[in-house]
Structure 1
Amino acid sequence: MDTNIFDFLIIISGVYLIYTAIVMKTTGKITGGAIVSKDVDVDNIRDKEGFIRYMFPKSLFMGILTCIIGLFGIVSTRFNGPSYLSLVAVGCFMVILILFAISSSRARKMFIDE
């Protein structure tokens, strides 16, 4: 079995993003690093509830998509799927990642920056 270790790392990062989004939604605690950068003081966010409402569905979707891409890579490698499918999946993932980064930047302007 010739599975790429990066596929497992992708899945782990997706699970962490899902976990962070759920913790943010259920406890109201925003942790730095996954959803906001570490240089942001989460205690100084102007509208935490608004930030959570805005970023929770996007973070959850991004985490689920990340896990799916990692699983797709493992399955594709295991069953010798065509390599172009992996490239298409990674391309779609990159587009979603860019959209997530744009959403995160908008959330920072709307809820964090003064």
Structure 2
Amino acid sequence: MDTKIDESCLENMQALLGEQFSDTLEFCLSEFDRLANEVRATIDNDLEAATRNAHSLKSNAAQFGAMSLADASRTIEMALIEGNVDYAKTQVSVLCSEVDASKALLQHWLTSTKV
């Protein structure tokens, strides 16, 4: 998957949050890791929790422009909702790769836009 970041989402959040943007984005990046780890940890024994964590990751990612990560999260969320657990499990490695790639791109964007 080619990792995509929608910079207009970041710019909108930056305008909305002002001075709190950098800290909020850093927190969000740590949440990407936490939520992906929760999906991985619960997908074998608590599908409700795995679905909820995939949904939260999808929403957080989309809000900060991590569109590929949002898509990967949505894929798992929908597969779990539809009862396609085996397929969802195959997508966890994609999700984790997207977390890493999205975080790198978002951190680069943050570093390159700091004044």
Q: Give the TM-score taking structure 1 as reference length.
A: 0.45
- TM-score calculated relative to the size of structure 2: 0.45
Which entry has the higher C-alpha Rg, 1 or 2? 1
Higher helix share: 2
Q: Which has the higher contact order (CA 8 A, sep 6+)?
A: 1
